[in-house]
């Protein structure tokens, strides 16, 4: 079955620390990958997406993610987090033969000032 | 351009009561989705509609029904609510060529007592 795994459930960082959130997926074929963010009290917003091409994808607010096909991974990174990055982050994947997304369980990021 | 709207924002039901969650989008998308979000489980797809007049089951359809009323509106009905249906419900829409880039509504927080 298709699945997306996020191994970090709750991450606490200080401002200016670097961030890396793990995401692994289980599809064997062509897959599209995403990171969504949900700020407190708000709905999900797309941070970045990977369809094809350069495996290093840059998104909004200084986030980037690297697609490593051999590791079935799509980790999210940010060199220096800010207090405003406090949110829940969801990795998602779509088998290109399907319309719907499969989401990971989410990672709650807490950035302390 | 409101994007995806959902009503109500909050609802409390007693076990066995019924209710309908409403969703509308003004982006002229063909595809619409209903997800539920539970702590530690991410978002799980309940039902989706690829186009007006069609609906398909997702990962967790039991206890729910949907209606694609027209291109704009996609409702989710709980016929006999159960405490296990306490959750936050998100509606989303998206379309070709980027089915993956789904746009989410603000969510409905439902509590079933």
The listed range with the strongest mean pLDDT (A20-29, A38-47, A80-89) is: A80-89
What integer best gives the mean pLDDT of chain A? 92
Closest-CA residue of chain B to A31: B100
Closest-CA residue of chain A to B36: A103
Residue B67 confidence (pLDDT) above 70: yes
Residue A12 confidence (pLDDT) above 90: yes
Is the Cβ–Cβ distance between A104 and A4 less than 8 Å?
yes
Which ranges in chain A belong to alpha helices (H)?
A: none
Confidence of residue A1 (pLDDT cuts 50, 70, 90): low
Confidence of residue B84 (pLDDT cuts 50, 70, 90): very high
* Cα distance between residue B23 and residue B60, in whole Å: 19
* Cα distance between residue A7 and residue B113, in whole Å: 32
State whether A32 and B100 contact (CB < 8 Å). yes
Give the closest residue to A56 by CA, choosing from A72, A75, A37.
A75
Residue B30 C-alpha, separation from nearest chain A C-alpha, in angstroms: 11
pLDDT of residue B39: 84
State whether B99 and A34 contact (CB < 8 Å). no
Question: What tens digit of pLDDT does each residue of B39-58 get?
Answer: 888 899 999 998 888 999 99
Cis preceding-peptide flag for B8 (omega within 30 of 0): yes
* Region for residue A24 given its phi and psi (left: phi exceeds 0; alpha: psi -120 to 50; beta: otherwise): beta
């Amino acid at each position: 079955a298709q699945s997306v795994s996020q191994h970090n459930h709750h991450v606490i960082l200080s401002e200016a620390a670097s961030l890396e959130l793990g995401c692994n997926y289980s599809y064997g074929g062509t897959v599209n990958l995403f990171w969504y963010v949900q700020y407190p009290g708000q709905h999900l917003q797309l941070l970045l997406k990977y369809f094809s091409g350069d495996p290093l994808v840059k998104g909004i607010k200084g986030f980037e993610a690297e697609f490593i096909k051999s590791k079935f991974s799509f980790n999210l990174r940010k060199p220096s987090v800010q207090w405003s990055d406090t949110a829940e982050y969801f990795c998602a994947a779509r088998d290109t033969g399907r319309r719907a997304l499969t989401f990971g369980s989410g990672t709650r990021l807490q950035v302390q000032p | 351009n409101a994007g995806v709207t959902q009503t109500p924002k909050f609802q409390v039901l007693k076990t066995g009561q019924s209710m309908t969650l409403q969703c509308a989008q003004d982006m002229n998308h063909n595809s619409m989705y209903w997800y539920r979000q539970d702590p530690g489980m991410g978002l799980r797809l309940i039902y989706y509609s690829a186009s007006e007049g069609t609906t398909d089951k997702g990962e967790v359809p039991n206890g729910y029904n949907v209606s694609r009323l027209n291109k704009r509106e996609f409702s989710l009905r709980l016929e006999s609510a159960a405490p296990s249906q306490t959750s936050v419900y998100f509606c989303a829409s998206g379309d070709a060529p980027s089915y993956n880039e789904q746009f989410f509504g603000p969510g409905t927080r439902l509590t079933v007592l």
